[in-house]
Amino acid sequence: MRINVAAVVISAVVYWLLGALWYGVLFGKQWMALEGLNMEHLQQQSPTVPYIIAMLANLVLASVLAKICVWREADTAVKGAALGVLLWIGFIATTSFTTYLFEGRSKQLFLINYGYSLVGMLLMGAILGAWKKKGAA
């Protein structure tokens, strides 16, 4: 199964940057309040390890999504985005929302945390589907 490595790397970086925008600009204060966090708590953590792990996880996610795009012949941005959304609904939203319900966690927090992964998988799928296969390896 051939995947486009450049598309995988770029889509992983886009997902990573989306996280910075999502939690740093759009929903950061709301997310911290719902999680019961403050800046002091966040500053006590290692400043780089979570970012490195997030990027590695994004690369794994992009690689798997790329393989599924190839397998399902999702060779346009629309088909790739649709596949990303379908996988999010089928695997991420269902399992995560169930966990949130049993833990009694906020639905608003679910929307922030997993809205990010929905938009991220949509973007990843669109990039992977649209990228020309010329550079596939």
What is the domain range of residue 30? 5-132
pLDDT at position 51 over 50: yes
Q: Tell me the per-residue pLDDT of 57-108, one tens digit each, with 9 for 90 and over.
A: 999 999 999 999 999 999 999 999 999 999 999 999 999 999 999 999 999 9
pLDDT at 132: 74
Count Cβ atoms below 10 Å from residue 99 Cβ, excluding itself: 11
C-alpha separations of 44 from 37, 47, 89, 92, 136 in Å: 11, 8, 34, 29, 42
Q: What percentage of the chain reaches a pLDDT higher than 70?
A: 95
d(CA 115, CA 94): 13
Confidence of residue 20 (pLDDT cuts 50, 70, 90): very high
* Domains held by the chain: number: 1
The better pLDDT of the pair 16, 47 is held by: 16
Distance CA(7)–CA(83), nearest Å, equals: 16
Give a yes or no: residue 137 inside a domain: no
Supply the pLDDT for residue 123: 98
